[in-house]
Structure 1
Amino acid sequence: MKSLSNQSHFIVGLFLSFSVFTLSCSGGKILLYPVDGSHWVNMKVLIEELHSRGHSITVIRPKSSWYIMEKSPLYTSITIADEISKSDHFFEEYLWKVIEIERGDASGLSFLKLQVDLFSMLSKAHYIICKMVSAILEDKMLVKRLQDERYDLVLTDPALAGGVILAHYLKLPLVLNVRWITTGEGHFAIAPSPMSYVPLLGSGHTDKMTFTQRVKNVLFQSFTFFQDRFVVGPHYDALIDKYLDNKTDIVSLIQAADIWLMRTDFVFEFPRPTMPNVVYMGGFQCKPSKPLPADLEAFVQSSGDHGFIIMSLGTLVKSIPADMANDIAVAFASLPQKVIWRHLGDRPSTVGNNTLIVDWIPQNDLLGHSKIKAFVAHGGTNGVQEAIYHGVPILGFPLFFDQFDNLIRIQEKGAGKILKLSEFSSRTFGQALRELLSNASYRTNMQRLSSLHRDQPMRPLDLAVFWIEYVMRNKGATHLRSEFYKMPWYSYHSVDVLLVLFTVVVVFVFSVVAIIRYVCYKTCCKRKIKNE
């Protein structure tokens, strides 16, 4: 009888556990507002995982999108007209200006002109996003549809913050897939960031700065302030004034997010202060490699013991100057390794027999191959994280945005080298590659980073999905969110407290001095009367 009772308890317990499991995994409804390009590549990984767990996803996409398909088995899409023509090449034009300045005139005037061009490009991008959000909110039928759907949360990438505005307008919990926000790197908006050891992205510094570098780090904040106040902020301010009830700004709305899914971790990033609602999911898009297509596998196997190298400059870079491409091809041709090069421009005239030029590569599968020796990369976050995951040393070829700072973190850890555009030639490129291939410490250090990255209690992707579902179950995560963003700047920095304390000290000192002077005066008067 006791055995039967135990069995019945076990069955009941199993049933209850199954019921709780079923309840916790019941599908939610997610409104997703992504950013196109490489940002979509990692957002799609989250979508695939959420879809596999039974969640219903609606994606808001611009009509001009290259990467976000209108029809997909993973999601339902809502397509919004925007003002971008598919003939527009903002990033490509900016890249060519960067290359021209870095390889030629690197004067202070040229740098300032480049910053003006960058601010102009950013302003236009955020203006287009704000116009798109305005079009959504002006469409009353669409707004009613979004309200009637009763979504559990909004998931968005705040590099372009249209989704942030929409989440606050619909009064829905907000989860960010984030590294960048409208003012730059996300940590600086959410967590204390001492300028003495937290380098601003764009400064090119590590967390061990000299006095001069710390001065530069502080001065770099002026660019962030200018970008927020005069370049990006005004577009969102107009939107907020028109559609939201409370007087605020876009950075405060971003700071009010429930959970920040941060696309980095402290294997890659320098240690720094953080907050309880920041979840680190660096490398969440990484996965074991799959077998290569037959033609690629045959080419890779033909490399013998020398192995092979891959080169890719990311999704945004369509081409590079012909002389640079020829110099790269010459350097590759001098190596015993085979080379797989993703290159979309004209075929260089100097390509060697060891080099295969392709329009697309299965990057993750190539990085996970046993014969891979090195990765020549621009330093985008996705590629760097995949290289860490598979333990492949990097020769960094940074072009713009965060790429140099990403590669600084790899170089500082001894897992790669950086070749600046200003230093580039066929000779320097070849030398850097040969050093990376011949010095075993680069591979050893990168494999150590890979080991550290993999030594976690759960996969970063599972962690990210857990916190998305956590917000669904609990209708937000406000208990993890600091309310500092509601404080005026003088309260946050305790300027008002310091002023009051200073005033108290001044009043006290003046009072003491006045009392002493009064006592001295009375004493002197008494002596004078006695003498008379």
Structure 2
Amino acid sequence: MKTIVEELHARGHQVYVIRANHSWYIKETSPFYTAISIDSPSGLDEEFATKFVSNIMETHRQGLSIMTRFELEMEIVSEMQQTTCKMLEHIFENKDLMRSLRDAKYDVVLTDPFDPAGSIVSRYLSLPLVFNVRWTPHSEGHFHIAPSPLSYVPLSGISQMSDKMTFLERIMNIVFFAFGEFCMAKYVTPHYVGLIEKYLGPDVDYLSLFEAADLWLMRVDFVFEFPRPTMPNVIYMGGFQCKPSKPLPQHLEEFVQSSGEHGVIIMSLGSMVGDLPQDLAEEIAAAFAQLPQKVIWRYKGDRPPTLGNNTLLVDWMPQNDLLGHAKTKAFVAHGGTNGVQEAMYHGVPIVGLPLMFDQPDNLFKMEVRGAAKVIDIFTMNKDIFLQGIEEVLHEPSYRKNMQRLSRLHRDTPMKPLDSAIFWIEFVMRHKGAAHLRTQAYKMPWYSYHSLDVMLFLIPY
């Protein structure tokens, strides 16, 4: 969201950000926006995030089934929804705050629907709604807004299947979909029923808050996503945060240049994973130590005793700038959407170590296209990890395929960020985009699938 906020500010817009008082990743002061701080707990603080990642890693290492792991993840998502509801109650009961929000006469609400708070506040204030979206609390965004035939549209995040599914895979796809719907009904929707009825009225349905959004700015493109039906109010801006690399800080540039002809490998498992179980960190460090390449590893845990002289541990790295450096040969990554898109933008092949949520699916999509090697981080050892890295380094097809994807991704009539800003401003100019929005969400499920028509025609 930060990238879009900064660009809106650069184009002369006044941006106001509603944040929890103790938010660890949304700062109270910024030259790009005015913060409206709420004295309420955030659904995702640093302690919660660390605990969450630790629990996920533990369940994986225990060898639990995909369904069990997914249900455990949903239990944690449920805990986040409870906190979101408390924050919304605090917002709505603060009469002075609500009066100031109404009096401000905002043009649009921009929100990530993974946290439903923005959608609910938008409906309460009767403001146009734009999503910066990949996920909602219950599924990948397309499954809310666009027709999604399960025969050739694989369920993102859990299925890890392509659009060329066998009969058995199509069965699995439907089972996974049904299981996801069950988890949504059990862990997400019930939290909001009473709150929505109290503040928005008894006729407002939870799912309709998402389907009624004016615009869906989708953080993928079809270089990455499998072909599928879409809708006119879905705007693709995959890679909108990507940009040309800038010069590295001097100490990093010197380290990179010291790699000589062998080049550099960078490793990061995202902002939420600062360390790993000690035994796993030692296996990774030992594998790196056997490589002729230099390695820059974002890692905040205790220094592994097996760490080689070729590996530099850092608390933070300029990831985009390193990916764009001529000496970077491979990216060891967890598979978050941003990192995968930055690697694709710069044409750097990936050694994938997926952990949770959409990461396995993201990396699977890159592996299908020959641009990544995926390794199970929870069962690997030094030799498996080393073999995977060497395969990506020495098999030319990985880099060639990623560079081909990079060319396709960059070959667009308008930069993704420019497209996103145009459509946000479009919604502001026209007070919404109702003409792009399907009315399907207002239909009961039996009418949507024409079951009532078929029942009527059966006698004939």
* Alignment TM-score > 0.5, same fold: yes
Q: Which of structures 1 and 2 has the bigger CA Rg? A: 1
Confirm whether residue 289 of structure 1 aligns to residue 245 of structure 2.
yes
How many angstroms apart in 2 are the aligned matches of 1:409 and 1:115?
Answer: 20
1:100: how far off?
Answer: 3.3
Match of 2:96 among 122, 127, 141: 141
Q: What is the match of residue 95 of structure 1?
A: 53
Match of 2:222 among 266, 284, 299: 266
The answer to whether the 8 Å contact 1:227/1:233 transfers is: no
The answer to whether the 8 Å contact 2:216/2:233 transfers is: yes
Q: What is the match of residue 189 of structure 1?
A: 144
The answer to whether the 8 Å contact 1:340/1:355 transfers is: yes
1:107: how far off?
Answer: 4.7
Match of 2:41 among 79, 83, 103: 83
In the TM superposition, 1:431-510 aligns within 5 A as 431-502=387-458, 504-505=459-460
CA 1:87 to 1:72, structure 2 compared with 1: closer, same or farther past 3 Å? Answer: closer
Q: What is the match of residue 106 of structure 1?
A: 63
The answer to whether the 8 Å contact 1:94/1:117 transfers is: no
- Residue by residue over 1:65-122, the C-alpha shift from the partner in whole angstroms, topping out at 9 and shown as x without a partner, is 111000111111111122359986344334334333433x4254xx555344322211
How many angstroms apart in 2 are the aligned matches of 1:433 and 1:199?
Answer: 28
The answer to whether the 8 Å contact 1:374/1:392 transfers is: yes
How many angstroms apart in 2 are the aligned matches of 1:74 and 1:384?
Answer: 27
How many angstroms apart in 2 are the aligned matches of 1:107 and 1:307?
Answer: 38
**As a proportion of its length, which structure holds more helix?**
1
In the TM superposition, 1:402-413 aligns within 5 A as 402-413=358-369
Confirm whether residue 200 of structure 1 aligns to residue 158 of structure 2.
no
Residue type of the alignment partner of 2:457: L
How many angstroms apart in 2 are the aligned matches of 1:246 and 1:385?
Answer: 42
Match of 1:132 among 87, 91, 103: 87
Aligned length: 459
The answer to whether the 8 Å contact 1:207/1:270 transfers is: yes
1:422: how far off?
Answer: 4.2
Partner SS for 1:373: strand
- Residue by residue over 1:422-443, the C-alpha shift from the partner in whole angstroms, topping out at 9 and shown as x without a partner, is 4411100000000000001000
The answer to whether the 8 Å contact 1:99/1:421 transfers is: no
Residue type of the alignment partner of 1:479: H
The Cα RMSD (Å) is: 1.5
The answer to whether the 8 Å contact 2:133/2:218 transfers is: yes
Partner SS for 1:175: strand
Confirm whether residue 227 of structure 1 aligns to residue 183 of structure 2.
yes
Q: What is the match of residue 282 of structure 2?
A: 326
The answer to whether the 8 Å contact 1:64/1:86 transfers is: no
Residue type of the alignment partner of 1:227: C
Q: Which runs of 5+ in 1 are unaligned?
A: 1-42, 506-532
How many angstroms apart in 2 are the aligned matches of 1:101 and 1:234?
Answer: 26
How many angstroms apart in 1 are the aligned matches of 2:333 and 2:70?
Answer: 24
The answer to whether the 8 Å contact 1:119/1:231 transfers is: yes
How many angstroms apart in 2 are the aligned matches of 1:152 and 1:342?
Answer: 40
The answer to whether the 8 Å contact 1:394/1:415 transfers is: yes
The answer to whether the 8 Å contact 1:376/1:396 transfers is: yes
Q: Which runs of 5+ in 2 are unaligned?
A: none
Match of 1:382 among 310, 326, 338: 338
The answer to whether the 8 Å contact 1:372/1:392 transfers is: yes
Partner SS for 2:188: helix
- Residue by residue over 1:19-72, the C-alpha shift from the partner in whole angstroms, topping out at 9 and shown as x without a partner, is xxxxxxxxxxxxxxxxxxxxxxxx000001000000000000012211100011
The answer to whether the 8 Å contact 1:376/1:395 transfers is: yes
Q: What is the match of residue 370 of structure 1?
A: 326
How many angstroms apart in 1 are the aligned matches of 2:254 and 2:176?
Answer: 49
CA 1:93 to 1:231, structure 2 compared with 1: closer, same or farther past 3 Å? Answer: same
- Residue by residue over 1:457-489, the C-alpha shift from the partner in whole angstroms, topping out at 9 and shown as x without a partner, is 110000000000000111100000001101111
How many angstroms apart in 1 are the aligned matches of 2:223 and 2:51?
Answer: 34
1:222: how far off?
Answer: 2.0
TM-score of the aligned structures, taking structure 1 as reference length:
0.84
The answer to whether the 8 Å contact 2:238/2:341 transfers is: yes
